[in-house]
Structures are given as C-alpha cells and as structure tokens.
Amino acid sequence: MKGSKERSSAVERARQWGMDLSLVEVLPVEDIAGRVTAATRNYARVQKLGGRSVEIDIDRLVRTLSEAGVEFIIIGGAAAVAQGSSFLTADLDVCYRRSPENIRRLVSALAPLHPRLRVAGMPDEEARKLPFQWDEDAVLRGFHFTLMTDAGPLDLIGEVVGIGDYEKVRAYAEEKNWSGQVVYVLTLEGLIVSKRALGRPKDLLQLQELEALQELRKSSGGDVESKRHDAG
C-alpha cells in the first residue's frame, strides 16, 4: 500500500541519518513540562563540558507568560521536545499575538525578569550595556526579539517562517497541559512545515526525526493533530 510505503520511508531515512528512534517511540508524551525542562538541563550539561555556561528556567518562563494571560504559542525546539523529539534545546521560542493588549500583557509580564538583548558570542554582561529599553514601543517597533532574561534565553517571534503570524500559527497549534496550565504548542505538522521552509542544516536534520515521529504516531493509531484550532 502507498500509505505503508510512505510511513516506512521517513523512518528509514531517519535511521540512515544515524538516529536512534527508540528514544521517540514511546508515545504519547504526557509530562511536557518535565520533558522540556530535562531537555534544557541536558543541553546545559553538554555546554558546561565545553566550558560554556547556559542557564534557563523554562518552567518559570512559561508560567510567567501563561499566568499573565499572554497569548503565545510554544514553537521551535521546545515544541519539538514537547511533541516527542529526542533533541535538546537551549531556549524558549514563542510566537506571540501582536495585538496592542497582548503586547501590554507581554511587556508587563516580562519586566520583572529584566529582558535585554542577547547577541551570539557576546557575554550577557556586555550585552546588558547595549542600548535597549523593554517597553511597549520597543515591541511595536520590532517584530522578532532574541532576549536574555533572569530566567534564561527567550525568543519572541512575530511570524513563523513557512506558516505566518500568530493567527495562522494558531491553526497549527494544539492545547497541552503544562503542569496544570493549558498552553498552546505547535503540532508536529506545524513543526514540519516550518522546518522545511527554514531549510538550514540543523532544521533538515531535525526534520528527519519529526517526519519519522509523525509516521510512528500515525501507525500507532495516535492522532498527531489531536486538537486543531481555528485562528482567533
């Protein structure tokens, strides 16, 4: 059957890339908060072995946004891990609604965490000296923000490559339980669409695992897109 051939092809391609799919075959993923937190901690351990320091309290970041009523969707590496990926992740990427009210909530929620610019290769102590003021005007003038906060690195994305703005990303998002709080997370389908559009080597590598994961989930009888939501 054509469907069976397609299911096996993605798994075979992932294994050809040297991926150990036994790490993603235990489904469904339940404790996404614990899973994503573990992925960030393991990333930090790997970086520490290389003499680099990376600290992130991803649970604090998610709760800060959620408890303030900020409209956001977890995307990127954290979403991939939440969906079952075995990759590690270093930060929290979220797509946020760019309505005036949501921007007000976002700015207010993050202010106690002292957001500042994050620049690749630049120590946080030096980045703190860069001219940057975290307020509503800054967010309205900008679109994407690569930030460092007191809880760790946070990327605010106004538009996801290959999908679009918050409203369009919402159609590819599903509800997940984050330690008792309901959050929106990009689905496997949405992650695959975005990774294909980005096309960077690291995205293409993870794409192999995501496609295999999607097919493994389908073959196990799971519904990958368990709860699609219309925008708005």
pLDDT tens by residue, the chain, 232 residues: 344 444 457 767 666 655 556 555 554 467 899 989 999 988 888 877 777 777 899 999 999 999 999 999 999 999 999 998 988 898 999 999 999 999 999 999 999 999 999 998 888 888 888 889 999 999 999 999 999 999 999 999 999 999 999 999 999 999 999 999 999 999 999 999 999 999 899 898 889 889 988 888 777 665 444 434 444 4
Residue 20 lies inside a defined structural domain of this protein: yes
Q: What is the DSSP letter of 179?
A: T
Domain that holds residue 84: 2-219
217, 25 contact by CB (below 8 A) = no
What is the pTM assigned to this prediction? Answer: 0.83
Query: How many CA atoms are closer than 13 Å to the CA of 95, on its beta-carbon side?
Result: 26
Residue 232 lies inside a defined structural domain of this protein: no
Total number of domains constituting the chain: 1
Q: How far is CA 98 from the centre of its chain?
A: 18
Q: Which residues contact 185 (CB under 8 A, 6 or more apart)?
A: 32, 73, 74, 79, 82, 83, 173, 174, 175, 176
**Amino acid occupying residue 164:** G
Residue 229 lies inside a defined structural domain of this protein: no
73, 95 contact by CB (below 8 A) = yes
Residue 225 lies inside a defined structural domain of this protein: no
d(CA 105, CA 124): 25
- pLDDT recorded at residue 154: 97
Query: How many CA atoms are closer than 13 Å to the CA of 157, on its beta-carbon side?
Result: 23
Residue 211's CATH number: 3.30.460.40
